[in-house]
Structure 1
């Protein structure tokens, strides 16, 4: 049986990714490893720290020891730690947002990125720019923080989270060719957006599709 280990930095990514794995890779054994202190420490520091990267390494090492065929990093805020760890972990690692960034860079030159956590914004923008450079393209990235939305979600007020985020996305959609939602926790809003002028990309499905492709290539 295929075993997939998912590294989470908070509880909000567990269910969206679980749902996508159940749909797209239904016969897989899934191991969820969740440490909500990781994202808290990144937010407190304002950036990815060596200590957080070291803990990510320990969790991925544990996943490898548990026989995982592939590891999925579920958090964009610590995604850059994954880049460094790929040379240290034998098990293939997929970043939840990498496929989304590739798609966004292919759609248009004006890319909007929405985040509810400020520490997710910079690494997501850097990833998009890198994917555009790999395609030989130049992109203009417009950044937006949906202020207060993440705090509302953590406090259990999903309605307020959705209201703040929806308003931010709609305003940004008038200025860009594609909108990128930088966090898994934001994907829940996509069905409620209705028809917008531009596509809105979220990472859970494209990230799990990337896992499926990686497994097929093993």
Structure 2
């Protein structure tokens, strides 16, 4: 980016509108003034859940991002874990960097240790999330033991608008994960549950500060969620030079797409 020039917009590809205010708040906190282009297309997740192939999904993702690319976006952040690999696989073709929001989270999880609890609200997210964690581990030359926990009833609560019930179910499942080195919250929508894991440890006896209760963390291991780390990594991608369009099958993302990518 030329010094003094206005920053290029960051495009965010969502499959639910609930993510828009989350990333607006992250922008306001970390990069006030950065233009964001929100592309919301629930049909992409619906197609993935219905069994659409990677090539079909790739065409749909590219079409959804078309207006943002035409407007000069500098990078794309895909906030849906289920279609993240397909989106990343389009980077060379689209001519801008594309990042799946959970990649930085996966890197932190692998660095934390071997035993990784992976909480998912939607079973369709299991394969792409495990694939990402294993890819990161393989590249780092380490072994991991991902332990998937599908949160009972969570997605139904999310779809019905019961945010409180959704986050409570996620927090309960995280606390019940057992002895692990890190807990991964696979869906970006789970991020707010981390506060509940501390709040549930509030106590009026034992450790206190005067007469006020002190939050006692329920978990002593990292609880990792994707929105903030993914957003900050995507902002860094805005500094990368814009590439010419044309698929590069030798890239890691290109390899993932050629193998079928996520779901």
Instruction: State the TM bucket, normalised to the shorter chain.
Output: over 0.9
Shift of 1:28: 0.9
SS of 1:71 mapped into structure 2: strand
The Cα offsets for residues 17-45 of structure 1, whole Å up to 9 and x where unpaired, read as 22112211211111111011111222232
Q: What SS does the corresponding residue of 1:11 show, helix, strand or coil? A: coil
The residue aligned with 1:19 is 25
Which residue is equivalent to 2:181? 177
Equivalent position to 1:198, from 221, 240, 245: 221
- 1:169 Cα deviation from its structure 2 partner: 0.8
| Higher alpha-carbon deviation: 122-131 or 7-16 | 7-16
> Post-superposition shift, 1:131?
0.5
The one of 29, 44, 48 aligned to 1:42 = 48
For residues 138 and 19 of structure 1, do their structure 2 counterparts lie closer, same or farther at Cα, with a shift above 3 Å needed?
Answer: same
Matched, 1:120 2:120: no
Partner residue, 2:36: 30
Which runs of no fewer than 5 residues in structure 2 stay unpaired?
Answer: 1-5, 199-216, 242-263
* Secondary structure of 2:148 counterpart: strand
Residue 71 of structure 1 corresponds to 76
Structure-2 residue corresponding to 1:147: 152
Measured on the aligned residues, the alpha-carbon RMSD in Å equals 1.5
Query: 2: distance between equivalents of 1:200 and 1:57?
Result: 33
Rate the CA distance shift 1:48–1:128 in 2: closer, same or farther, 3 A. farther
Q: Is the contact made by 2:104 and 2:229 (CA closer than 8 Å) also made in structure 1?
A: yes
TM-score in terms of structure 2 length: 0.78
Offset of residue 49 of structure 1? 4.4
State the SS of the aligned residue for 1:88. helix
- Which runs of structure 1 show a deviation greater than 4 angstroms over 4 or more consecutive aligned residues? none
Measured in 1, the distance between the counterparts of 2:79 and 2:68 equals 14
Task: Tell me how many residue pairs correspond in the alignment.
Answer: 216
Q: Distance in 2 between matches of 1:185 and 1:11?
A: 11
* 1:24–1:212 contact (8 Å) kept in structure 2: no
- The 2-side partners of 1:49 and 1:209 are apart by 27
Is the CA contact 1:108–1:178 (under 8 Å) kept in the aligned structure 2? yes
**8 Å contact 1:10–1:36 — kept in the other structure?**
yes
Q: Which has the higher helix share?
A: 1
